[in-house]
Amino acid sequence: MNKDKIKSTNITWHESGVSKSDREQRNKNKGAVIWFTGLPSSGKSTIAVELQAMLFERDCQVYVLDGDNIRHGLNSNLGFSPQDREENIRRIGEVAKLFSDAGFLVITAFISPYRKDRDQVRKILSKSDFIEVFIKAGLSICEQRDPKGFYQKARSGVIKEFTGISAPYEEPQSPELVVDTEKFNKQESAKAILDYLDKNGYIQK
């Protein structure tokens, strides 16, 4: 939380009567943010849903925050300018932190194209609570998939400021995990992330 940007006055932070560690002991998992980033059509939402199902089967407290879904409500007043994209990720970062504090494994499926915005989310969380997962697929492959037809519209100029075409995407420099969806299907991709969570103690045995 950047206190320099808080406009509200005469407010105080109220501590919860139940700690994060208390919640984690009752749950089957640690609270953490699994932050997916990647080009449109790289497979973020598909893998997020698959991973959520796997974690749910393990009795974990898990929830998916999806980029399109969030723009139907919380972020419905934001467009796709660099400033709006920054605010979009800032809000999601704060919401994801609340889920993490509540002891959830929260999976966020957002393009989140700017490295500085992702790094800002990392900063508001404890070191082990932010797991950046680069959902990797080349631009040409993503264009071939294009399930929503957005790349075609972006190429023809119908959609402005489209990531990968008319707006930049900055790949993570040191993500916790890289999942190459040109090589692995959704089940294999989700399983790779599940294995990482198991190996690093995010899920109770």
Which residue among 41, 45, 100, 112 is the active-site one?
Answer: 112
The DSSP bridge pattern shows strands 177-180 and 105-109 to be: unpaired
Would you call 112 a catalytic residue per the annotation? yes
Q: Which is nearest to 34 in space by CA: 68, 13, 64, 57?
A: 64
What is the full DSSP assignment across 119-185? HHHHHTS-GGGEEEEEEE--HHHHHHH-TTSHHHHHHTTSS-S-BTTTB-----SS-SEEEETTTS-
Angle (CA) 98-104-107 rounded to 5° is 90
Report the 10 Å Cβ neighbour count for 11: 7
On the CB side of 191, CA atoms within 13 Å amount to 5
Q: Quick one: tokens of 166?
A: 């008319």
- Give catalytic residue positions: 112
